[in-house]
Amino acid sequence: MAWDTVATARGPDPAREETTVQDLALPMWLTAAGAQRHGAHRIAMRDENGSMTYAELAEAMAGVGAGLLETGLRPGDVVVTAMEPSIPHVVALLGAMRAGMIAAPLGTRLTSSEAVAYLEHLQPAAVVTDHAHADLAHTLGHRVIDLPEADASTGDRLAPLRRAPVDLPAPGENDPAIIFPTGGTTGAPKGAVHTHRTLWLWLNTCAHGNPRVPTDVELCFSPFFHITLGTNLFTPLLAGGEVWIQRRFDAGAALEAIDRGATRLMGAPTMFTALRAHPQFDSVDRSGVTAIRYGSTPSTGEFIHDLMRDFPNARIRAGFGATEFGSVIGFDHEDLLAGRVSGIGRPLPGVTVRVLTGDGQEAGPGEVGELVVSCPWQTIGYYGRREDTAETYRCDGVHVGDLATRDADGWLSIVGRSKEMIISGGENVFPREVETVLLDHPAVADVIVYGVPDEFWGERVEAAVVPAGGAIVEAEQLRDHCRARLAGFKIPKAVRTIESIPLTPNNKPDRRAVRAAALTVTG
């Protein structure tokens, strides 16, 4: 892969032939489609301080693009955003892309030292920040553009960036568009790069695979540095819907939005559990919710049955993906109705999935192997990291380290990650397999399994359990529960109770943090 072409790209190719076919670039699509397809004066987004129509969005993108250029930035520069979810944040990202720059939402849950290490490879030309994250932004060692406090109007919040719109050249569809940070579950985050084309293809797949209509109202409470920015915000805009943006997940605020008419929800199972536990849940009219998509962590059959009961008019879909390739596998409402509530489903149209053994051969039904994914919308590599790119992006597909099985019907299940696998007494233990069994115990609300050093076993299996409401977790009872379904070497040798599972910046269970806490207690 000629990775240097990504690291040194500087905007559209002037030699590229003009064509009457619209390039696949999200800012250009929104500019044209907002006026022609969606209706220029329809609402595109709302946040707690205002709203923006599709016509206003097109004008704001061009104005912010012009403003960034006026500050001395150039096409191909990396523009980092350290901001809360908001309309100005969306416009800052799209405006940078409209001007041919590379947008890069920063994981604002990172510490300053972690963020500095991540940005070392991106070398941003500027960091755009709001009041909430200004302290972090000013410690990063890069030029900072400050926006006003969040309680100002949308126009005022964008004023430091925005200028009168000018006729900007369209970015090339093969130019880098946006960089998403990986979750950093096995080290510092890496920046996965979407071109305008791969980003558009991914969003278009999401729009059709989980069908949307212009009357949809999507509730967005996810951080923008996660790929849910694509599935939960950019996709409904591409499809002409309306997005309600909340700064962070809050069960009470989310329920109020549902009561006011939000029709589509997306989040991790823990978020839906929090909605159900809120005292106002039973009094909220949930009949208008027509679609729910969940992912990020494993779920149980009980969780899915509760979801179907509590949102009776919603089509429910589970998705599996990664920062490197977005959404690639899933199962649909009909699968749930048929009783298939475990695993991750089947590949989406256009996705090739292989499960490979250590010698590179296809694994047989039920045999564990590495999940290798290839699709037209996968990212093109890690920005500024040639060796990491070559290790992950190979000729046969993208290798992110997930371990999976596939049954005779093609149904896929994730059993863990290669770097999370526990080797206990010479036997391989996959944490996800043990977690699935423990989640079936009525005393367990959530669980995470990990390995710790052991003089006899090499590593021993342990579990940290979040008790179900009012339940008392007895370690021996849980081990008895496991014995009928797991080999002896897979059964946790120690069980701890914790209040909640810590999450990585990308809302994945933070196995490293739980393991480190266990070592602190025992060592």
Query: For the segment 83-121, what is each residue's pLDDT rounded down to a tens digit?
Result: 999 999 999 999 999 999 999 999 998 889 889 999 999
Q: pLDDT by residue (tens digit) across 388-404?
A: 999 999 999 999 988 89
CB 269 within 8 A of CB 294: yes
Exposed/middle/buried for 169, CB within 10 Å: 0-12, 13-18, 19+?
Answer: exposed
Beta strands 191-195; 176-181: pairing state: antiparallel
**Of 46-55, 132-141, 145-154, 329-338, the least confident:** 145-154
Q: pLDDT by residue (tens digit) across 176-220?
A: 999 999 875 445 789 999 999 999 999 999 998 888 888 899 999
State residue 93's pLDDT score.
98
CB atoms within 10 A of CB 181: 26
Q: For the domain that residue 496 is a member of, what is the CATH number?
A: 3.30.300.30
* Residue 184 belongs to some domain of the structure: yes
State residue 184's pLDDT score.
57
Residue 265 has pLDDT above 60, yes or no: yes
Q: Please report which confidence band the pLDDT of residue 363 belongs to, taking 50, 70 and 90 as the band edges.
A: very high
Q: pLDDT by residue (tens digit) across 345-354?
A: 999 999 999 9
What residues have CB less than 8 Å from 17, skipping those under 6 apart? Answer: none
The boundaries of the domain holding residue 508 are 420-522
Q: pLDDT by residue (tens digit) across 39-63?
A: 678 899 999 989 999 999 999 999 9
Residue 506 has pLDDT above 70, yes or no: no
Residue 15 has pLDDT above 50, yes or no: no
- Residue 462's nearest CA partner among 509, 425, 424 is 424
DSSP 8-state assignment for residue 171: P
- DSSP lists the bridge partners of residue 105 as 81
Exposed/middle/buried for 248, CB within 10 Å: 0-12, 13-18, 19+?
Answer: exposed
Q: What is the mean pLDDT of residues 492-521?
A: 84
* Residue 425 belongs to some domain of the structure: yes
* Residue 338 belongs to some domain of the structure: no
Q: What is the mean pLDDT of residues 142-165?
A: 85
* Residue 415 belongs to some domain of the structure: no
DSSP 8-state assignment for residue 345: B
β strands within 297-359, DSSP E:
315-322, 326-331, 346-347, 352-356
CB 106 within 8 A of CB 115: yes
Contacts of residues 472-476 at CB distance under 8 Å and 24 or more positions apart, as own/partner, are: 472/443, 473/443, 473/444, 473/497, 474/443
Mean pLDDT (the chain) is 88
* Residue 388 belongs to some domain of the structure: no
State residue 4's pLDDT score.
45
| Number of domains into which the chain is organized | 2
State residue 30's pLDDT score.
92
* Residue 176 belongs to some domain of the structure: yes
CB 462 within 8 A of CB 429: no
Q: What is the mean pLDDT of residues 291-302?
A: 76
pTM as predicted: 0.83
Q: For the domain that residue 166 is a member of, what is the CATH number?
A: 3.40.50.980
User: Per the structure block, which two tokens stand in for 303?
Assistant: 């969780």
